[in-house]
């Protein structure tokens, strides 16, 4: 009887050949599936987070590079102020600069903003920068550009002089002959003095027009006598608005007479404290920022690029930053010569 009961009990429990029941096998399979799914979800989430961190890191790296580039460019922008006229978002001149008035003078009109979005592919921001850090500059005495033609015997009478050009051999005599043998601009600037290259002449004193009543309106923009020109042989010719595609202020700050030549510019320089005027000559570069469409991007995104002026137009494209929605050039105060740049990714 005991033997029969043992056989019956043995038949009721189904086991596999390794000694596990079906329930145990199903539990193990279920646990393994859960673990695999959990690992898969963890790996997918990990990969997603890594991609996100990589993108954020890449964006931060790009912004760091952009910030360095922007600082290096904007800190050289002093030549733009009161020399370039370009309307901002509110139709005010972006580069207006009042060095002798506090910001409170202007109330709500003392800041400037210029915005370009991805769709603004024909809207441009211009910047005139100094190349002085790479090619030096020169403090120039205008007398070196002239030669004496006649010398009256009567010292109360004016003699006559003739303009020779900027890049001439200075007439410097030590009593035994000329001590200068090289053309001055070529000596100082080397290959930078070449046809089509830009230079800016500046007499460092701010001037305003004087009214018929001998009064000066301080709200009138003060300007230094400046001449922006391109090299043609041994001299500079004025850079015209039609060439630059932006308004260049090449005129006398008091009379508003347009400078047609360096000779005219030098002959009408103001005296500085009663002394003979001097001129700073420095190499310059004119840049144009623009948004460039990219077919690889979704709508609302474009690249910000920078192009350098040369005779014939703007070329030598430089990538500033890619895939952005907009860029804003800002001046928080027209009493300070500072431009900042902000982009929206």
Q: Where are the domains of the chain?
A: 85-131+286-344, 134-283
| pLDDT given for residue 36 in this prediction | 63
What residue has token string 């015209």? 240
Q: What is the DSSP letter of 123?
A: -
Q: Rounded distance, CA 72 to CA 75, Å?
A: 6
> Which comes out higher in pLDDT, residue 184 or 39?
184
| pLDDT given for residue 79 in this prediction | 95
Query: Once rounded to an integer, what is the mean pLDDT over residues 47-60?
Result: 57
Question: In sequence order, what are the beta bridge partners of 238?
Answer: 229
* Tens of pLDDT, residues 261-285: 999 999 999 887 767 788 999 999 9
| pLDDT given for residue 113 in this prediction | 97
Q: Answer yes or no: are the C-beta atoms of 236 and 250 closer than 8 Å.
A: no
* Tens of pLDDT, residues 95-149: 999 999 999 999 999 999 999 999 999 999 999 999 877 778 899 999 889 988 8
| pLDDT given for residue 57 in this prediction | 52
pTM above 0.85, yes or no: no
Query: Once rounded to an integer, what is the mean pLDDT over residues 177-189?
Result: 81
Q: 221: closest CA among 55, 330, 28, 84?
A: 84
Q: In the chain, what is the greatest distance between 2 CA atoms, to the nearest angstrom?
A: 158
* Residues in CB range of 130: below 8 A, 6 or more apart: 76, 78, 79, 137, 200, 282, 283, 284
Q: Is the pLDDT of residue 178 over 70?
A: no
| pLDDT given for residue 58 in this prediction | 53
Tell me the CA end-to-end span of the chain in Å, nearest whole number. 87
> Which comes out higher in pLDDT, residue 54 or 20?
20
């Amino acid at each position: 009887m005991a033997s029969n009961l043992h056989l019956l009990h043995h038949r009721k429990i189904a086991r596999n050949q390794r000694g596990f029941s079906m329930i145990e096998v199903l539990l193990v399979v279920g646990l393994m599936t859960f673990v695999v799914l959990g690992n898969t979800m963890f790996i997918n989430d990990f990969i997603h987070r890594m991609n996100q961190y990589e993108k954020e890191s890449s964006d931060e790296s790009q912004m760091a590079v952009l910030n360095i580039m922007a600082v290096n460019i904007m800190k050289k922008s002093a030549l733009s102020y009161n020399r370039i006229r370009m309307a901002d978002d509110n139709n005010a001149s972006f580069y207006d600069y009042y060095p002798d008035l506090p910001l409170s003078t202007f109330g709500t009109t003392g800041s400037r903003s210029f915005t370009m979005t991805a769709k603004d592919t024909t809207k441009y921001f211009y910047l005139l920068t100094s190349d002085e850090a790479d090619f030096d500059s020169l403090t120039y005495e205008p007398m070196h550009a002239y030669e004496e033609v006649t010398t009256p015997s009567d010292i109360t009478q004016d003699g006559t002089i003739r303009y020779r050009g900027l890049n001439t051999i200075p007439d410097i005599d030590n009593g035994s002959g000329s001590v200068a043998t090289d053309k001055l601009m070529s000596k100082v600037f080397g290959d930078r003095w070449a046809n089509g290259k830009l230079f800016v002449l500046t007499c460092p004193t701010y001037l305003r027009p004087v009214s018929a009543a001998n009064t000066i309106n301080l709200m009138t923009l003060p300007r230094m006598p400046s001449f922006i020109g391109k090299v043609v042989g041994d001299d500079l010719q004025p850079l015209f608005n039609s060439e630059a595609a932006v308004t260049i202020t090449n005129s006398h700050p008091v009379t508003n007479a347009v400078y047609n030549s360096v000779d005219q510019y030098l002959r009408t320089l103001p005296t500085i404290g009663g002394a003979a005027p001097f001129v700073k000559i420095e190499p310059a570069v004119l840049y144009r920022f623009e948004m460039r469409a990219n077919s690889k991007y979704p709508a609302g995104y474009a690249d910000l690029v920078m192009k350098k002026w040369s005779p014939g137009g703007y070329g030598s494209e430089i990538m500033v930053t890619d895939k952005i929605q907009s860029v804003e050039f800002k001046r928080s105060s027209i009493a300070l010569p500072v431009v900042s740049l902000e982009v929206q990714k």
